[in-house]
């Protein structure tokens, strides 16, 4: 029978020649220590597995509860959430630009000069042209003064919108009167798409800032 090769003790790393091929320790005392270490590792592994299973069960529970909540949402609720996700994307997209209506700079979360908050302002309003409320060419960041107090400041908005997207696109928006129906699946897609786009923009800008620093 071939004699076992020399090997290192798993406890003290001393070289020794084992009596049998399955021996990994140089003396009985270290054999006991090694056995206890193995037992501790197995216990830790089992605990980690238990915790992972618990987290997965909790995640599945949250997903089920979320699915149930969403199943009871009305079309109006989905429309509100879709519009909120879309408007948030517009504000992130236009971050650092000036107000689409008055031209004053928008810095951070407010208008630099007026101090008012930033809105996602619709060139053709949702009331007059609800079919364009998710059109990225129709919606641009503006200060609340222009968007709310001046009802969009339409004349100035049009002038600056032409500079941004061109006369052809502006006229296309103005002549677009084709009605559209937004059902719940469509509103769900709108929310998902623009939530994802907003996150992507935030990540891209974060990386750019890190590189610039």
- Per domain, the residue ranges of the chain are 1-72, 75-212
Of residues 108 and 167, the one with the higher pLDDT is 167
Q: What percent of the chain lies above the pLDDT cut of 70?
A: 94
Query: pLDDT digit string (tens) for 176-209?
Result: 999 898 999 999 999 999 999 999 999 998 898 8
Query: pLDDT digit string (tens) for 10-53?
Result: 999 999 989 888 899 999 999 999 999 999 999 999 999 999 99
Question: What's the predicted TM-score (pTM) here?
Answer: 0.69
pLDDT of residue 69: 86
Q: What percent of the chain lies above the pLDDT cut of 90?
A: 74
DSSP bridge partners of 106: 111
DSSP, residue by residue, 137-169: TTEEEEEHIIIIITTT-HHHHHHHHHHHH-HHH
The residues, ordered by sequence, that sit 6+ positions from 86 with a Cβ below 8 Å of its Cβ are: 120, 133, 134, 139, 190, 191, 194
d(C-alpha 89, C-alpha 126), whole Å: 17
Q: Which of 170, 200, 196 shows the shortest CA–CA distance to 86?
A: 196
Q: Mean pLDDT over all residues of the chain?
A: 91
């Amino acid at each position: 029978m071939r004699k076992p090769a020399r090997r290192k003790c798993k406890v003290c790393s001393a070289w020794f020649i084992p009596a049998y091929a399955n021996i990994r320790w140089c003396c009985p005392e270290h054999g006991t220590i090694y056995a206890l270490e193995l037992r501790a590792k197995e216990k830790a592994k089992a605990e980690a597995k238990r915790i992972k299973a618990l987290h997965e069960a909790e995640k599945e529970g949250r997903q089920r509860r979320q699915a149930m909540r969403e199943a009871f949402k009305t079309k109006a609720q989905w429309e509100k959430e879709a519009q909120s996700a879309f408007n948030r994307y517009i504000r992130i997209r236009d971050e650092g630009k000036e107000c689409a209506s008055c031209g004053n700079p928008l810095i951070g979360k407010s208008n630099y000069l007026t101090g008012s908050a930033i809105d996602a302002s619709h060139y053709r309003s949702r009331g007059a042209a609800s079919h364009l409320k998710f059109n990225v060419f129709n919606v641009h960041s503006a200060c609340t003064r222009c968007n709310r107090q001046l009802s969009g400041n339409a004349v100035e908005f049009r002038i600056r919108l032409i500079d941004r997207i061109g006369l052809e696109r502006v006229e296309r928006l103005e002549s677009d009167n084709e009605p559209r129906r937004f059902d719940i699946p469509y509103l769900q897609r709108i929310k998902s798409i623009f939530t994802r786009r907003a996150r992507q923009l935030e990540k891209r800008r974060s990386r750019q800032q890190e590189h610039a620093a």
